[in-house]
Amino acid sequence: MSQFKRSVYERSIYKEPGPIRDSENPFEAMVERFDVAAKILQLDSGFYEYLVTPSRIHITAIPVMMDSGQMRVFQGFRVIHNEILGPSKGGIRYAEDVNLEEVKALAAWMTWKCAVVNVPFGGAKGGVVCNPREMSPGELERLTRRYTANLIDVFGPEKDIPAPDMNTNEQIMAWILDTYSMHAKRTETAVVTGKPILLGGSRGRREATGRGVMTVTLAAMERLGMRPSQCTVAIQGFGNVGSIAAQLLEEQGCRIVAISDVSSGYFNAEGIDVGAAVEYSAAHGNSLEGFPGAEPITNEELITADVDVLVPAAKEDQITRHNAPDIKAKIIAEGANGPTTPRADDILNERGVLVIPDILANAGGVTVSYFEWVQDRQGYFWTTDRVNRRLDRMMRTAFDSVFDVASRHDVSLRIGAYVYAIEKVAGALRLRGIYA
């Protein structure tokens, strides 16, 4: 059974509860999709066990002296799922409801995500059980530095490379960089990605995930004969991914009619002014609550809105067997990790909804993280235009490859992405062999 607490939306000010969950373990949900792809590939049982099992799991206690003078101990995780294609790569999230099963699933998704976009990394993920909104900057810094120190032998530019994720940002990456560098006795900019440009970060990194969502959504529209100027879009989640995807899709001619964040959701059939919504959110503590440019709606109304494209860019397990029958979108582009459950996938496939899976749709972030790592190691940095051109090319190539694999095997894009990724990692494993 899932160890998640109540969903983000159930903890929000929404009057109605969030989507009814399918109560699935997130790692088991990943394995269920893996199983289908493994059967298509006729994967050897030994290879199956090797590829589905996390390589290493680190659980650490993080003592922090709080501003009150009282010491608190937080729990931290770092899961290294796979390192066959290269050093492991994955973000660190700070959240009250993060748990080991979630981190294991996210680490595995990172393995397949890197393989899908042809990035030479393996998969990893980290998490700390805390509520960063209730912690001061000083407490967050002490938490981050101790977490890094506890995992100092795990991290490394050629071993395991963290990045931002939910509730972590450039500043937290800067603290990780500094802590690691102090222990290494030299500045190691390539040990983290998603850091400030001043410390070796890449231009275009902050926008990368949202930009990748835009690129694959346009590619899907092209395959289905849809014109962006005639398409309506609903976006669940208005953080870094959702807001940027909204802005970029709007620039391409799409009409954004519904948006939401943890506080509230809004609908305007004539189209929401995304720029005004971004400015409003920034001016109100990164919250859309009270946004005057649209009518309030619930999360469930947004997910089932009569639109052409739905972008779930919030959290896991938002599209379930309970609401999937009512979804009207022709395309779902998963900006979040694991927003659709296996039971919902079955329903959406039967109804002919084209789901662009998370391991493809939101891979723009790790792609530009790879660019950042390359730039740090070379000591030579690219322009924003160069970053964006290379990202667009890699995302479009990945979409076309996955679409072709899915068509060849007559499966969904999600299973096509798993087949494409697993075949690549398994092929590398065959070539490398097993050291004994």
Give the residue numbers marked as catalytic: 125
As a whole number of angstroms, the distance between CA 265 and CA 267 comes to: 7
**Two structure tokens written together for 264:** 């509230």
| DSSP track, 23-62 | ---HHHHHHHHHHHHHHHHT--HHHHHHHHS-SEEEEEEE
Q: How distant, in Å, are the alpha carbons of 56, 124, 221, 426, 429 from that of 434?
A: 16, 21, 43, 12, 8
- CA-based nearest residue to 417, from 391, 399, 396, 429: 399
What letter would DSSP give residue 82?
A: E
- CA-based nearest residue to 159, from 86, 109, 91, 93: 86
| Bridge partners of residue 62, in order along the sequence | 74
Q: Which residues of 123-139 are buried (b: 16+ CB within 10 A; e: fewer)?
A: bbbbbbbbebeebeeeb
As a whole number of angstroms, the distance between CA 187 and CA 199 comes to: 10
Q: Estimate to the nearest angstrom the gap between the alpha carbon of 10 and the chain centroid.
A: 21
**Two structure tokens written together for 284:** 């109100």
**Two structure tokens written together for 281:** 């959110």
Q: Estimate to the nearest angstrom the gap between the alpha carbon of 218 and the chain centroid.
A: 19
Residue located via tokens 């042809």: 118
